[in-house]
Amino acid sequence: MALQQLILVTEQDEAIGTMEKMEVHRKGILHRAFSIFIFDSEGRMLLQKRAAKKYHGALLWSNTCCSHPYPEEKVEVAAHRRLQEEMGFDTKLENIFSFIYRETVENNLVEHEYDHVFVGKYEGRININRNEVEDFTYMEISEIKRRINEQPGDYTKWFKIVLPRIEEWWRNRYEKFVEKRTNRK
């Protein structure tokens, strides 16, 4: 089996070559990636607990799905492919922003990503790939923030970095609905 190649990029997301995945993470080289955040109709976020076999972030909670496109693969195509591979479903996705981050993670690896962030809505059957995902749950953003505050080591570093920007997007989309639901109780 060939080793996965990642797309190396400039700070403007211009492809400048490829390199083997683990070498990229050992050297901390900027590469193209994507993160997916799925919500239900009540505005709860679908989280995944990463599988124990993952090379970093094992057994940590994170966003619904994240990965890297293959060379010559469009980011949106890769996002749909990987959502299906990890979570066992596909849904309409919207690319809402991109950002660059650099963080040292487990096993002396460095994530240095130009990360394309996608959101979507889904409430159907979830069929996780046990090689990728240990567990999953839908959770209110306020509860996620409370848990991160109490147990920050239970969550991936990139998830904690991007959550405030996702929350800002979420407030524009879901907050009024959640307020109405809360006032009815």
Q: Where exactly are the structural domains of the chain?
A: 5-184
- Indicate if the pLDDT at residue 1 is higher than 80: no
The confidence score (pLDDT) of residue 76 equals 98
Residues 60-96 have pLDDT tens digits of: 999 999 999 999 999 999 999 999 999 999 999 999 9
CATH H-level, domain 5-184: superfamily: Nucleoside Triphosphate Pyrophosphohydrolase (3.90.79.10)
From the list 100, 7, 128, 110, the residue with the least C-alpha distance to 56 is 110
Catalytic residue set? 66, 113
Q: What is the pTM of this model?
A: 0.92
From the list 30, 45, 33, 32, the residue with the least C-alpha distance to 139 is 45
Give 43's pLDDT tier (boundaries 50, 70, 90).
Answer: very high
- The DSSP H or E segment spanning 1 is none
Only one residue has tokens 């147990």, namely 151
- The DSSP H or E segment spanning 51 is none
Give 183's pLDDT tier (boundaries 50, 70, 90).
Answer: low
Give pairs for 105-109: CB < 8 Å, separation 24+: 105/25, 105/56, 105/57, 105/156, 105/157, 106/56, 106/57, 106/58, 107/55, 107/56, 108/26, 109/22, 109/25, 109/26, 109/55, 109/56
Q: Specify whether the CB–CB gap between 131 and 53 falls below 8 A.
A: yes
